[in-house]
Amino acid sequence: MMNSMTAFARAEKEDGEVRAVVEIRSVNGRGLDLVPRLPQSVQSLEGRIRPLVTAELTRGRVDIRLHLDRPEAAAERFEVDREKAAAWLEALGVLSRDIMGRDDSVSLETLAAVPGVIRPVDDERDAEALWPLIRDVLETALFRLVEMRRTEGGILARDFERRLNRMAAWVEEIAAASAGFPDLCRTRLEERIKNLTSGMVEIDPARIAQEAALLADRADITEELVRVRSHFQQFRDIMAGVEPAGRKLNFLTQELNREFNTMGAKTTNGAVSHLVVELKAELEKIREQVQNIE
């Protein structure tokens, strides 16, 4: 089953004193790039969060935002960073005396306005006590994210199947158009010799057959058709499998594109050339979407 890398999920839970809200957004990426954004008071929990995510996801950029809503009483308590206040007070004194040549005292309002000098007091519950709540809401959000990625992957899989069926039909048209190519080569070669010699030279059937066979061999796309059919089946098998499919499907699109290019270069049949162009255009649509598969 294919999973998309693009999804969003949100979950929240309240334990009576603290409400935790987790939002997870994932987009496509070459590997797994986890970007957690946690409140300062629970930064130490990042090492526990990562294993929970990597157990569910293998690719994509994953942004995790954790919000903690605490009781109003806790938000109204503040503390003073004494070291920062003293350092700023000394610096402001130097600026006043040594730079401006004045001996002004620093007002309380000026010092209080310095970022970080006065800061809210963290809730008395530490990160360890908050972990069960955070873990539960994170697991819920991850479950919803995985479900959304799976749903989106299913939509893409159905689209891929329709396109593969269309491409497979074109491949069979190409095979049918190429089936009589050796005889066509022989006929064209005979006509060309007759036109050049005005029918004055006797044509050796054996030599004509040999030259026609050489021309047909250079333009033969039988092997390419066999490999293309095989790649189509591999594509379907990978989509139906349980392993992450993105990298394998991306490789197959490259292989299919290579086969189509070879077929286009070999053929001298206008109808086949047209179908090869259609194949490459359809494959490009698949390739673009494959970049979003986990």
What's the Cα-to-Cα distance from 166 to each of 97, 100, 254, rounded to whole Å? 82, 80, 18
Identify the structural domains of the chain with CATH numbers, from first to last.
7-73+126-148 (3.30.230.10), 78-120 (no CATH), 152-290 (no CATH)
| Interacting residues of 150 by C-beta distance below 8 A, sequence separation 6+ | 1, 3, 4
Instruction: Give the pLDDT score at 30.
Output: 86
Instruction: Give the pLDDT score at 76.
Output: 52
pLDDT in tens, 215-272: 555 667 888 899 999 999 999 999 998 888 999 999 999 999 999 999 888 887 788 8
Among 61-65, 129-133, 200-204, the range with the most confident prediction by mean pLDDT is: 61-65
